[in-house]
Structure 1
């Protein structure tokens, strides 16, 4: 009902549906699509003016052991394999019930989406687990990635797709991991790669002229585009610029939410359930301070997730008795981030996920010493950077390289040759110097220590050795390197002037600590009882990985799987009640 009430204020309009999903990342959209295919009326509301959340920024990888792609290729495995690996990584935070639910439903989720929707995946046959020396670690076939997608198939909805982080693109063009990225990195060294890149760039220029943005979608952008297309095809209603401000209840049961719009508030009654999928708390300053020790000591946390992900889902759950975990090993999915000044005065956050593993770069603290295997997991990089910081000092590190490395692989937001580097020198993002000692002075790094560090590193790197951190000795490290470089794809001396540095600070790809749920994604109260009608998925749900990072895709894999599980649970309850969905709009 709408109109003015007795106080003269605008009364909230009312909408009735079966399922209300709050958040439009991969977790929320997977729940919406599956619920809609079960015959339920579904509304997805998004706080931002574009859809996709952090998922649209991501690499689009899902860690799902025994995916249909692996089984079809004869590379399926006994579930005890991934369980053994997860037990080794998670330790006492391994939860058999939650892990078991994920491993059982993950392959079914992939199979359902590929058979019933526009969503398609490609197998990661050569993508290793992060910790290759642990029991149960695999060298491939536990991951899948969203297949590229033609953005033109989205029609007018393309304008509502969150674009990727601009600094991670090539003039707005997304570059996929694997063959696509390798072609770009070798375009000046390979005739085949040169023509491949030329075709890609010309097509991109055409898309910019005709559509004003990239249309060949890859990575997380392709995943979200496919999910959005599938949602529309299934009859899901999508609403952007519509934050949820409060949950509605009847007794203990959550019955809907009050939404904010530019025109007037809307009361949405969700007959079957509300799914929280608002992206965690990467930009909630209060909760970051409470849960991240380095923030408590005064170091800012620079998450690469969208600014709109500010903990709304967690606060909504707490308002009706839900609990947010405070016991994980780490509350955030750490990633090293550099801050990129933009021409419009804003600051971009570049997540360093790729170039750290290439030969010819090291990471050092202000003390001028290495502190980590630079090409190892990004979560571990930040964890070790925090541990290596002296009390009272800012948590910061620098990636150091020479001209050969910079022009061959790029460094952070700085792209490889032939892209110019002048603007990054001018705005201070990239520091250049004729010698290592001078570079150290310009970066406020101990010059004597840095010179010694580089000399020691170079001595061993020339022979392909790293006695300090054993870089290039695990399958994951070697995949991150350059297969054309010998004898070790991850190691080369830093010796060709000028020398360069980019400052790196603690950041994240999102958060791990979230709302405590059961294996059906139902939100639990203080007595560990499900709150009827309320579900949490994605980064709003407490990570089943216990605050650890076993492999790439351990965020999106569980996120979409538990979105699928939540929808299955809601649909099963509706079927048991003999419910037939019908959306109602009261005017």
Structure 2
């Protein structure tokens, strides 16, 4: 250590400014440590800022108030046993369940978080023992971006798919009101207020609307606390090395700021939380099933550097996971200028009545209203080869009501999407089959069979609409099955979907205190890992909404507490 010429000294250096990184930095600060937050990009928020924002924390402080006070540890444990199984260790799962509620109480009490438990939000496998219909998932309360002052521009913008009018964030309630604005005075009033507030923001000079929702709000709450507490952070400062002493302890970071190398001593340790490796082509090729491609919805800066630094310091990757990533079907709009726009088909269109998914054989292969992770898992399990790509197909009434991917509903312009080959339109089903390269007779038989089941309200092939989670995402006004309606008159539309992801689940092996482990299962002294750099506590399974952000916040907090205790 003596040969290193340190430029500055702090107690803890945190790499990455997503939920895990900011949770760790804030916790260190609240526990009396000097924390420094380093972010390699020019924006704060990481994957958190572009996410849906759900946080899965069973037995959280708000669950009882949301009407789910009868949930128990035993029920949650049984559900995880039935969904995660042996993909994660019991010690890690118990650490998550024990610390999650405490983390929420701790950060909320200090004004760093504002979460509300969902009254109704079924777990993704609600038919399995121990599942819950609500209370376990939490959402960030809306955040007024004006509270960030001039730093608002430093917060990563949300995905364009989460905004309308070029910069107005909307949630599901807003979307329903905006779609029904000309049919309901209540919806007109709701939508009108939102649009007026947005244009006032733009007139005041803001680059987008200041009403922040979803993961953007979550990142904003944490960032606001970082600013309020005057925790130092540096943008455009990538770390390129972890320094270790003669005993192998991580004692500092070498980073590059403005072209200048800076060596920062960390008296207590370093937390790595840089967002996983979804954009590292080599790691994807080595760890993902095939086929794969540049199909991730995570920020393109998430290229696995943090994992690489941890491995160079002696840490190893985890094992035993059932999936290396958290999947989502993604459609790709390849524009004429060569740019690619990615759209994640998460919760809006697939579960609605009047849509089917087919593979290259022109056959249905999946419950279209299953979770996004399950949908792609089934794509990869397709035989004799993976069902990649697949197509989402709907009729004219569907696209006018719900839209399809980037094609918006209500008669909005779609010609540009058709011209670039993103949206395929055909007057008849045989014409659509020809344009998609599918067997027209087989596709016709698939539609005929589906329509017969849809008319009866029961999908006996794949169970679309058969669970509470399916129906939660369907159209409650459509009965007897909120997710099933026969495909009616044309023209018909289709978009191609591939096996995308929203982040990686395969990462550095840690213990229940978020300490990175070496090949012998021993902690690497001074090195902590959280977020998507950490081997998922769910082992690549996806039990419910928010099982990435929940562990990220929790184990960032766990790492901060352990560093403050200084007994590791």
Q: Same fold, TM exceeding 0.5? A: yes
Offset at residue 142 of structure 1 (A): 0.5
Matched with 1:585 is none
> Aligned residue for 2:77?
83
Provide the rounded CA distance (Å) in 2 between the counterparts of 1:206 and 1:435.
45
Q: Which residue of 2 aligns with 1:461?
A: 454
User: Counterpart of 2:313?
Assistant: 320
List per-residue Cα deviations over 1:97-136 (Å, max 9, x = no partner). 1111111111111111111024211211100100111110
Given that 1:172 and 1:214 are in contact with CA atoms closer than 8 Å, whether structure 2 keeps it comes out as: no
* Counterpart in the other structure of 1:98: 92
User: Contact 2:11 / 2:268 at 8 angstroms: preserved in 1?
Assistant: yes
- Given that 2:162 and 2:170 are in contact with CA atoms closer than 8 Å, whether structure 1 keeps it comes out as no
Q: Which residue of 1 aligns with 2:127?
A: 133
* Secondary structure in structure 2 of the residue aligned to 1:211: coil
Q: 2:224 is matched with which residue?
A: 229
**Which has the higher mean CA deviation after the structures are superposed, 144-153 or 205-214?**
205-214
Residue by residue over 1:270-318, the C-alpha shift from the partner in whole angstroms, topping out at 9 and shown as x without a partner, is: 11110000000101111111111214xxx42511101100011110111
Normalised TM-score (structure 1): 0.92
CA offset digits 1:439-462 (Å, max 9, x no partner):
111122222211111121112212
Q: Which residue of 2 aligns with 1:378?
A: 372
Does residue 239 of the first structure (1) align with residue 253 of the second (2)?
no
Whole-angstrom CA distance in 2 between matches of 1:566 and 1:428? 47
CA contact (8 A) 2:163 2:170 kept: no
Alignment of 1:411-490 (within 5 A): 411-490=404-483
CA gap of 1:85–1:394, structure 2 versus 1, over 3 A, is: closer
2:60 to 54, 67, 77: 67
CA distance in 2, matches of 1:227, 1:559: 13
Match of 1:163 in 2: 157
Which residue does the alignment assign to 1:524?
Answer: 517
Q: Residue 538 and residue 244 in structure 1: after superposition, are their counterparts in 2 closer, same or farther (change >3 A)?
A: same
**Hey, what does 2:107 align to over in structure 1?**
113
Q: In structure 2, what is the equivalent of residue 580 of structure 1?
A: none
Where in structure 2 are the equivalents of 1:99-498 lying within 5 Å?
A: 99-173=93-167, 175-209=169-203, 210-250=205-245, 251-295=247-291, 299-342=292-335, 345-354=338-347, 355-388=349-382, 390-391=384-385, 395-498=388-491
Partners of 1:431 and 1:283 in 2: CA distance: 28
Deviations along 1:113-172, one digit per CA (max 9) or x if unpaired, are: 111024211211100100111110111111101111110111111111111111332133
Q: 1:432 to 1:74 in 2, by over 3 A?
A: closer
* SS of residue paired to 2:350: helix
| Residues in 1 aligned to 2:50 and 2:436: alpha-carbon distance in whole angstroms | 30
- Tell me which moved more, 261-270 or 366-375: 261-270
- Runs of 4 or more, structure 1, over 6 Å off, are none
Q: 1:344 deviation in Å?
A: 6.0
* Contact 1:325 1:514 (C-alpha < 8 Å) held by counterparts: yes
Contact between 1:301 and 1:506, CA under 8 Å: does it hold in 2?
no
Check whether the contact 1:12–1:265 (CA below 8 A) recurs between aligned residues: no
Counterpart contact for 1:336–1:381, Cα < 8 Å? yes
Q: What RMSD over aligned residues (CA atoms) do the two structures have, in Å?
A: 1.8
Partner of 1:582: none
Q: Which residue of 1 aligns with 2:534?
A: 541
Mapped contact 2:169–2:211 kept (Cα < 8 A): no
Unpaired runs of at least 5, structure 2: none
CA shift, 1:188, in A, is: 4.3
CA distance in 2, matches of 1:283, 1:162: 18
CA–CA distance in structure 2, aligned partners of residues 275 and 317 of structure 1: 10
Distance 1:257 1:344 in 2: 40
Give, in whole Å, the separation in 2 of the partners of 1:443 and 1:330.
30
Residues 1:93 and 1:207: Cα distance change in structure 2 (over 3 Å)? same
Deviations 1:488-514, CA, capped at 9 Å, x for gaps: 111111112111001100110000001
CA shift in 2, pair 1:72/1:126, >3 Å: closer
Quote the Cα distance in structure 2 between the aligned partners of 1:326 and 1:444.
40
CA distance in 1, matches of 2:287, 2:480: 43
Gapped regions of structure 1 (runs ≥ 5): 1-10, 578-587
For this pair of structures, how many residues does the alignment match? 561
Q: Which secondary structure does the structure 2 equivalent of 1:510 belong to?
A: strand
